[in-house]
Structure 1
């Protein structure tokens, strides 16, 4: 008999909801005490949820425990995307200017063959899978998202970086017509293009995902369409959106927020409840849709899978 084995990075049973709700890809959060809600009421509530039409073929997350997810509305209505605005609630309304048609990604640096990748071709090269991950923002809020994508390690193997490549560097698209804040020049929120990077062993970890969708549908523009990075054990600003360039290098990339304020933001940005941000505590977080805060987990709950990457490092200094 085939026995389904839960991967150790999947969320535990005490974070689950009913099968009925999970199968319909809705969250328990708006329904309150599900055990006392009649079936008809549940289905009526589900019908009112704003959900996308599934348009991606993917392997569903194998966890048999019906995980609690934030709603599609919550995930797509609370976004940091400074290229549009610093107002998290207004990003959704402004993101229509992002044109993802004929999207390409330039690949250069320490790689066997520099190239330009066509996004649509990427979707054909790599099988997609669902990964339900915790997502923790450095600002102190969090959510649980059913991302759709493929492991970054698969893309790296396809691109064939040289052995001298120790880091991978990402850039968000620079296009002043699509991103209003990029037009502002002197008055823009940050320097553009947005840059992020990973050490190669971080990039090759099985948790690191190139996400192209969520809730079974293509990535919403406000969430980083058409393709973004997801590194679930790091603060959300490491998960760069709307990637247009990938470079392999032997030098540690200077990521955007480290460049903006090196005293507050480091290269690694690992979720660490024991190391506070200079202006607020990181010990607790508020899940979108919940009133009370909860304790933040070391490495956002993925300590078993990634702690070995930082063995011997002082995580209070290499933050």
Structure 2
């Protein structure tokens, strides 16, 4: 394997430059900065974001779970307040702090997930069903964002493959598609493309079936010992630790097994920038910045961050590289 070149911090796109580049992408899509601030056609949504009467994000209830030794990685954890306070969830705004400030409107009671498509036993589960059927485990995983920052997170969940086996995939099943809740009254970014980043909602994602069945792939219901807060994708989200974070679709309501490759949100929006596979790869740069290194978000302040080399498959190559044997990872990025 070719060694990763040692880069200085100046070789990697700073976050302020990235944000400026993202604004340029939105402008290209016809979403200008002025449109984001005009109090005309979007006054109702904009006033919602500026208001002080939004419900507070509820605290997560403690969960019962085990800690399998093989998944308790000896890594420095990202502090809980940063995991819950710094993330992307455009349904609640474009800024990293918006989800924590705005996601209290998300209602997670009576949540249901449909599993259908190429399965012999389609089913609908509520969260009580899930907790009863699938014992929870804590898994400490690296998390790498396509924006070149990373965290280490103690997720709590269960293997997606165990749920899929209950539904009995047919011989035609080759892919798994996922869909986020569509509820514009609860997720204001879905009401208006100027607020939600130009995305066509609901958010959708997908995996190959063998990726979905891999034991590292989990459906996550908690973090730091408690149920997921809304800003992190309550009540259930996908976690695939060797892929970029945008593959980790949040607040899932539907899982569909398919014969053909499903559409995915960011790939539809910018196919030259966000591939279907989205495997972490230091040798395949994003068109607008290097992926060779990453900024680890640890316990320090925003300026006290660790720049470190990006690992192929985010450090999980030993477990997952065989899934892509013979596949050109530059073409299938």
TM-score by length of 2: 0.78
Q: Does 1:244 align with 2:253?
A: yes
Structure 2 distance, partners of 1:234, 1:161, is 23
- Determine if contact 1:54/1:215 at 8 Å carries over to the other structure: no
Aligned-pair CA distance for 1:237: 0.3
Aligned-pair CA distance for 1:108: 1.8
* Residue ranges of structure 1 left out of the alignment (5+ in a row): 1-51
- Determine if contact 1:149/1:210 at 8 Å carries over to the other structure: yes
Q: Does 1:308 align with 2:316?
A: no
CA-atom RMSD in angstroms: 1.5
Structure 2 distance, partners of 1:211, 1:234, is 15
Aligned-pair CA distance for 1:53: 7.2
List aligned pairs for 1:1-319, cutoff 5 A.
55-62=62-69, 66-185=74-193, 188-189=196-197, 190-289=199-298, 290-319=304-333
Structure 1 distance, partners of 2:332, 2:249, is 20
TM-score by length of 1: 0.81
Which digits, 9 at most, give the CA deviation of each residue in 1:110-136, with x for residues without a partner?
Answer: 111332211221111011101000000
SS of the residue 2:91 aligns to: coil
SS of the residue 1:309 aligns to: helix
Which digits, 9 at most, give the CA deviation of each residue in 1:21-76, with x for residues without a partner?
Answer: xxxxxxxxxxxxxxxxxxxxxxxxxxxxxxx7761111124257754211110100
Misfit runs of 4+, over 6 Å: none
- Determine if contact 1:284/1:296 at 8 Å carries over to the other structure: yes
Structure 1 range deviating more: 87-96 or 55-64:
55-64
Distance 1:53 1:91, change over 3 A: closer
SS of the residue 1:240 aligns to: coil
Distance 1:163 1:182, change over 3 A: same
Structure 1 distance, partners of 2:74, 2:308, is 21
Distance 1:280 1:186, change over 3 A: closer
Structure 2 distance, partners of 1:243, 1:109, is 16
- Determine if contact 1:196/1:238 at 8 Å carries over to the other structure: yes
- Determine if contact 2:100/2:231 at 8 Å carries over to the other structure: yes
Which digits, 9 at most, give the CA deviation of each residue in 1:220-251, with x for residues without a partner?
Answer: 11000000000000000001000011101000
* Residue ranges of structure 2 left out of the alignment (5+ in a row): 1-58, 299-303
Which digits, 9 at most, give the CA deviation of each residue in 1:61-93, with x for residues without a partner?
Answer: 425775421111010000100111011112101
- Determine if contact 2:173/2:259 at 8 Å carries over to the other structure: yes
